[in-house]
Structure 1
Amino acid sequence: MASIHRHHRFFIRDFWRKLVALGLALLVWKLVDVQLRSVVPVQQVRVKVKYDTRKFYLKEDSFLVDLEASTPSKMTQLAPELFQIEVALPTTYEHSGIYYLKLRNRHVVKKPLRVNIKTFQPNNLAIPFDVIEQEQFKVHVNTQGKVKSGFELSATAQPDTVRVLGPSQVVRNLREISTESLQLNPDITKSFSVPLDLLPPHPAVRVLPSQVTVNVVVENTLRTVSQSFTSLSPGVMLPLKNNLRLAALPEQLISIRLRGLSRSLNDIDGKQLRPFLDLSNATQPGKYQAEVRISSLPLGIETEEITPASIDVELITIPDLPTTPSAGDKAAPIPAPNKP
């Protein structure tokens, strides 16, 4: 029993002696290794920036830095591809700005075995970034070429408004989103529809949807057409003499159909048409069937139909007002009342 106890104490004392010896050996090896290690410069090591592409935009998502690496004596050169450095842009930013970051060893995610990083040059990174914004913009149909003389073309997009996502500094300067060019030529004489892609104004901008349908209307402006204008209130042309006036204003509204070149008719605003009842030849009070006329029509436009062509009205005479004596006239003497 005593022998077993002595062997046990010997084993414990021997274990600690071996452990101390091992520690001293490791320390000596470390000191020797440090003495034998060399510092090797490594240039143009890429720093990868990880970020949420749905929230941020970076003009550059990688940067280059130089390293000083401590290596075993056998390593005299190190390629930059042997190292990988990654940093992350925080997701808490709400506005564009610059993220400042100090590089540390924990950012090195790949390096050769037994190689330690001593310094980074530059040690601090300045990472400019922008936030992604979303806006609605009108679609502009871009055309190239022209149709035959005498024809007019109008193009509208469906949908006419699209959603745009991109860097705030880009989106805020936009006014509209253009389509790819709609090619026109003199052979186009009929209306048609065509799908056209939308052109993002910046590589970082997304346009949703990316394509629209463009409806093209082609019109022959040299073609003679008719156009109606309804619910027009007539005016009245009265004679300049005889103090004749309308007994009551006419309540009936006028409809006019005009004929002329399509180009000219398209420029006419119905509110500017002036139908009137022509009573200029009336000489005395009474009932008249006044003809409805229209004035100030553009050149090349003629009246095709007026409904009704005439309206029954009544003219009355307004008595002359008594004249007021002027200040220079002598007042007539007022006769004295007769005495009883």
Structure 2
Amino acid sequence: MNHLVSRLFSRIWSFLRRDFWRKLIALCFAFFTYFAVQAQLAGEQKLTGVPVEIRLPPELISVGRQDFLIAVNVKGPKSSLRNFDGKDLKGVVEVRLEDYVPSMPFKVRLHPSDFRPVKGVSVSSIDPQYGELVLNLQRRISRNVPVRPKFKGQLGKNYRRADVRCIPSETQVTGPEQLVRELQEISTQPIPLDDAVTESFEYRAQLEAPSGVMVSPWRATVQVDIVRNYERRIFQDMPLLLLSEPGGNRRFQVEVLDKPRVDVTVSGLAQPVSALRTGDVKVYLDISRLSEPGIYTLPVGCYVKGDSLDVREIYPEQIKVKITNLR
């Protein structure tokens, strides 16, 4: 038995010694070939987050989502699948205008052929829950709408906006048919106002386009005319004062024959007018020149405390008084 084992080992050793290096190279090549074949053997796995791009004709626009992330099953070499990312694949679906039906949801059915193979990895099937995508498509239209200036802040009380002009006065909006038809105007971004603004000015404002709508042009020049703000204020039923000559010794009695209450209209810049108090307005009759008994019709005078204020109207303008000597 030992003799047979010895003879077998001797033959193996003799075989290995004959062309040893050639046999070693062939063995290494066989190992490399085995691992290369194993690496190229096909595998299959599920990928999530695979993007799908919907390409629309120029006449259509998608309201809402236009790019989707779905799950698919892929196949390919195990070596490629090992570190393969779902984002490496991309599906592209072309929508034809003749397939569009207005006011109806547009359904897109996905197929593996919509995905181009990458690095030998191809889509074998679509996850059932993503087999059909639903789009909200509308026709793309354009129309002109007015530009409306919008402001933030306030001018000082003594100034106001007299006229506002936009150049251009209209802008073209382009987008989904329903949204564009419902648009009545496009606003500018807020134009700042404050107490320091006392003169007319121009402002280059960007237009605020609603989401999903494009505007052209997207800026407008707003011309704002600033003028002084004058106001009127009516003081009603003001008491009537009688002005006599200072230090006079006249001995007579004055009787007011008409209503002894007067309405006064005061005008001026808004701030001092609004700051006026009732006590700042004095209504009077000047009787200092009267010396003889009788009935007189006298003009009503008025004094207003403050600068740049005018008495616009006094009602009644005249009042009758009766002068009687004292006994």
Q: TM-score, with normalisation over the residues of structure 2?
A: 0.52
Q: Tell me the secondary structure at the aligned position of residue 198 of structure 1.
A: strand
Q: Tell me if 1:90 matches 2:102.
A: no
- Distance, in Å, in 2 between the alignment partners of 1:110 and 1:170 is 39
Partner of 1:132: 140
Taking the aligned partners of 2:122 and 2:117, their CA distance within structure 1 comes to 11
Q: Distance in 2 between matches of 1:107 and 1:179?
A: 43
Q: Which runs of 5+ in 1 are unaligned?
A: 1-32, 225-259, 265-298, 303-340
Aligned to 2:199: 190
1:102 aligned to 2:114? no
Question: Which one of the candidate residues 146, 150, 154 is aligned to 1:146?
Answer: 154
Q: Are 1:177 and 1:200, in contact at CA under 8 Å, matched by a contact in 2?
A: yes
2:230 alignment counterpart: 222
**Offset, 1:74:** 5.6
Corresponding residue of 1:207: 215
CA contact (8 A) 2:60 2:137 kept: no
* Letter of the structure 1 residue corresponding to residue 116 of structure 2: V
What's the offset of the Cα at 1:51?
Answer: 1.9
Kindly tell me: are residues 162 and 76 of structure 1, through their superposed partners in 2, closer, same or farther at Cα, counting changes over 3 Å? closer
Measured after TM superposition, the shift of residue 73 of structure 1 is: 5.6
- For 1:120, the aligned partner's letter is I
Secondary structure of the corresponding residue to residue 179 of structure 2: helix
**Residue in 2 that maps onto 1:167:** 176
Q: Partner amino acid for 1:201?
A: P
Higher helix share: 2
Structure 2 residue identity aligned to 1:61? Q
Alignment CA distance shift 1:55-1:263 (3 Å): farther
Check whether the contact 1:136–1:163 (CA below 8 A) recurs between aligned residues. Answer: yes
Displacement of 1:206: 1.3
Kept in 1, the 8 Å contact 2:54–2:67? The answer is yes
2:124 maps to 118
Are residues 74 and 161 of structure 1, via their aligned partners in 2, closer, same or farther at CA, if it must alter by over 3 Å? closer
Query: 1:42-96 deviations in whole A, cap 9, x for unaligned?
Result: 2221112122356423522221222222334666644213322111121333735
Please name the residue that 1:60 is paired with.
65
Given the superposition, is the C-alpha separation of residues 223 and 43 from structure 1 closer, same or farther in structure 2, using an over 3 Å criterion? closer
Partner of residue 47, structure 1: 52
**How many matched pairs?**
198
Which of 79, 84, 87 aligns to 1:81? It is 87
Q: Percent identity?
A: 19
- Cα 1:146–1:179, aligned 2, differ >3 Å: closer, same or farther? same
Secondary structure (helix, strand or coil) at the match of 1:170 reads helix
Aligned match for 1:177, one of 186, 204, 224:
186
Whichever residue aligns with residue 183 of structure 1, its letter is: P
CA drift of 1:263 comes to 9.3
Paired amino acid for 1:83: L
Question: 2-side partners of 1:74 and 1:68: how far apart?
Answer: 16
Aligned-partner SS, 1:189: coil
Q: Is the 8 A contact 1:96 1:131 kept in 2?
A: no
In 1, the alpha carbon distance for the partners of 2:157 and 2:175 equals 42
CA distance in 2, matches of 1:74, 1:159: 62
* Structure 1 contact 221–261 (Cα < 8 Å) conserved: no
**Distance in 2 between residues matched to 1:178 and 1:61, nearest whole Å:** 27
Q: CA deviation at 1:207?
A: 1.4
**Residue 155 of structure 1 corresponds to which residue in structure 2?**
164
Taking a change above 3 Å as real, the CA distance of residues 94 and 104 of structure 1, as seen in their structure-2 partners, is: closer
| 1:241-320 to 2 correspondences below 5 Å | 300=312
Contact 1:146 1:185 in 2 (8 A): yes
Alpha-carbon distance in structure 2 between the residues aligned to 1:223 and 1:116: 79
